[in-house]
Amino acid sequence: MSATGAPRGQTAAQKIIARAAGRARVEAGEYVTVTPDATVSMELNWPVQMADMARTGIARLPRPDKAVIVVDHTTSAAMGSAHHQSHKRMREFCAEQGIMNFFGPGTGMRHLLLAERGIARPGTLIFGDEQNIASIGALGALCIPISREVLIPLLCDESWVQVPRGARFTLTGRLPFGVSGRDLAQVILRDFGPTDRLLQCAAEFVGEGVSALSLDERQGVLACLYHAGADTALMALDAAALDYVRERAAGCPFTAVEADADAEYAVEVTYDLSALSPMVTVPPEVHGGVEVGAVAGRPINQATIGSCAGNRLDDMRAAAAVLRGRRVAEGVTLYITPGSREVYANAAREGLLETFAEAGATVLAPGCTTCWGYQGQLADGEVLISSNQFNYTGRNGSRSAEIYLAGPYAVAAAAVAGQIIDPRELLDGSAGGAA
């Protein structure tokens, strides 16, 4: 309540949930039943979900038009695996149910596909099977992560949610030379990851600094927010975001939502983008971010650029800016994973794939690939630097291996140098191009 006793304004997340609940307003902490605009699931969860569906006795989905089913973790059906059977069952199920939004192996990460295919639009509420799909908040869509329970909205076209508290992140300034949105994400994880300050919060980013970030960077930042403790996240909409949506919405309606001026926030913080520098997260915690100079000189064996936190076109461009005219160091393996076929195709048109090949990198099929250890396994004692999401012990193979996390500039620079270095040493300072 305000000082006058009147109800406080609503956050953007509250407004989206209220619309989905058919109500004028909702309050933080309240449990409400909502009808989603879409529900997304991927193949690793699919066998369990199908077994659960069989136990319910329900044969048909009530709204197949709202289902988004994606194969994005097992981008190929390799000999000796059972993935080919799972892919086949998913394809057949979607055909039987009339699910048009089925995206098979190599199409891309569902985080990106929701944006590219115009499914995530301002004001929409989407149930997801993973917290990192908060990336769609860059387009004003709210992801509610519910993991295995994603079957409920698929079968019932509704589910309950607890209305999150608000957290407001005000961004000012512009990122300096050699710094990317991923560096901002690592600073936020460093500051909030060890705490519970963002617990049960929807983080909302506002301020002039939002427009200073590209749409790709905004998505990458939001993909990491769950690891800082937030349930989900949004960014203020601007002309760039709305133009992107209009190009892809195919006439589907949407409503831009913004928080009321007097909305209540449990957490408020400001970050000056111009004060940031390249960051590296030291294993084994995702909140172990330090400035790159603190770990400079650490030899590496492998480098990977990809994951829902670092696989968009801007990440490809950043990597190419470092790799152009250079070679990956002897004894180092560099894997690069575009996030979707669209990213892959655009990278090809811009000559980025040629740059990667000439530098000695291996480009993988669009998907999660190296982030969850499907490819790029580490041997005992090896060191990886990666734009992936996690660096806990054993994430990518041997439990004696080490995983450092960084943005695409720093990962590519380490691949060239054979050790962690400040990426600005290999950039010319003008347009991000190689020296």
What are 292-318's pLDDT values in tens digits?
999 999 999 999 999 999 999 999 999
> Measured between alpha carbons, how far is 336 from 254 in angstroms, rounded to an integer?
34
Q: What integer best gives the mean pLDDT of the chain?
A: 94
pLDDT greater than 60 at residue 161: yes
CA 222, CA 136: separation in Å to the nearest integer?
Answer: 8
Beta strands in 184-288 (DSSP E): 201-206, 232-235, 267-272, 279-281
DSSP 365: P
Tell me: pLDDT of 404 over 60: yes
* Segment 137-161 mean pLDDT: 95
Dist CA 200 CA 326 (whole Å)? 45
Architecture of domain 280-426: 2-Layer Sandwich (3.30)
Contacts of 350 (CB under 8 A, 6+ apart): 317, 320
pLDDT over 60 at 434, yes or no: no
Radius of gyration of the chain, Cα coordinates, nearest whole angstrom: 21
Q: Is 280-426 the same fold as 12-19+30-272?
A: yes
Position 435 pLDDT exceeds 60:
no
Q: Is residue 371 scored above 90 in pLDDT? A: no
Q: Predicted confidence band at 429 (pLDDT cuts at 50, 70, 90)?
A: low
Asked if omega into 284 is within 30° of 0 (cis), the reply is yes
Does 83 have pLDDT greater than 70? yes
Q: What number is the average pLDDT over the span 109-137?
A: 96
Ranking 272-276, 371-375, 405-409 by mean pLDDT, the lowest is: 371-375
Maximum distance among all Cα pairs of the chain, rounded to whole angstroms? 68
Chain segment 27-52, per-residue pLDDT in tens:
999 999 999 999 999 998 888 888 99
Answer whether 419's CB lies under 8 Å from 299's CB: yes
| DSSP 3-state of 68 | strand
Cβ neighbours of residue 239 closer than 8 Å, sequence gap 6 or more: none
The mean pLDDT value for 316-332 works out to: 98
Span 115-127, average pLDDT: 98
Please give the average per-residue pLDDT across 319-325, as a whole number: 98
Tokens of 90: 């998913």
pLDDT at position 432 is 42
Residue 430 scores a pLDDT above 50: no
pLDDT digits (tens, 9 = 90+) for 166-201: 999 999 999 999 999 999 999 999 999 999 999 999
Average pLDDT in the 319-346 region? 98
Q: Which CATH class is domain 12-19+30-272?
A: alpha beta
Nearest to 222 by CA among 189, 191, 256: 189
Instruction: Label the pairing between strands 67-70 and 38-42.
Output: parallel
As a whole number of angstroms, the distance between CA 420 and CA 414 comes to 5
- At residue 3, the pLDDT reads 57
Q: Rounded to whole angstroms, how far apart are CA atoms 407 and 432? A: 14
pLDDT band for position 5 (cuts 50, 70, 90): low
Least confident of 40-49, 113-122, 397-406: 40-49
What percent of the chain lies above the pLDDT cut of 90? 87
What pLDDT, in 10s, does the model give residues 251-286? 999 999 999 999 999 999 999 999 999 999 999 999
User: And the tokens for 51?
Assistant: 């077994």
Expressed in angstroms, the distance from the first to the final Cα of the chain is 57
Q: Would you list the domain boundaries of the chain? A: 12-19+30-272, 280-426
What is the C-alpha separation between 390 and 91, in angstroms, rounded? 30
- pLDDT reading at 433 higher than 60: no
